[in-house]
Amino acid sequence: MKGSLIWYAQRYSSILILIYVAYIFYFLFSFNGQISYFDWTMFILSFEMRAFTSLISLLIILHSFIGLWTVGTDYLTKRTLGFLNKSVATNANIIRNAYYFLFVVMGILYLIAILYIIWL
């Protein structure tokens, strides 16, 4: 994947996440502190909000995947792990692949859990 595409994907996802948070705060502050449980549940359970929350959850996973992938490629290499220990440096590829596997599995489980909570 091109580096500029990844860079733009992470920046645009953060902007959309900020818009989502601002939208939630706008809804909360539009009631002047007098929001009822009924108003909140009608807002959260609306189809538009569920779809928007699902999209934002996917963008959060994309954003975190790019960030964690960057950390793995920058800091889990033979050169950088060699400062810790020579035997650790020889296993840098195994450590990096285990790291990738761990955050991919956690991201998939997170997405499944969030979509389950939102839609069921």
Cα Dmax for the chain: 61
pLDDT at residue 68, as a whole number = 92
The domain locations on the chain are 3-119
Q: Looking at 56-65, 67-76, 111-120, which range is the least confident one?
A: 67-76
Give 21-39 pLDDT, tens digit per residue.
Answer: 999 999 999 988 788 999 9
The CATH code of domain 3-119 reads 1.20.1300.10
Say what percent of the chain tops pLDDT 90. Answer: 73
pLDDT at residue 80, as a whole number = 87
* Burial class of residue 72 in the structure, from the number of CB atoms within 10 Å of its CB (0-12 exposed, 13-18 middle, 19+ buried): middle
Please check the confidence at residue 3 and state whether its pLDDT lies above 90: no
Q: Contact 103/65 with Cβ under 8 angstroms?
A: yes
What's the Rg (C-alpha) of the chain? Answer: 20
90: its two tokens: 């020889």
CA-wise closest residue to 108 among 58, 53, 34, 74:
58
Mean pLDDT calculated for residue range 93-101 = 94
Please check the confidence at residue 1 and state whether its pLDDT lies above 80: no
Q: Give the mean pLDDT of the chain.
A: 92
Give the three-state DSSP class for 111. helix
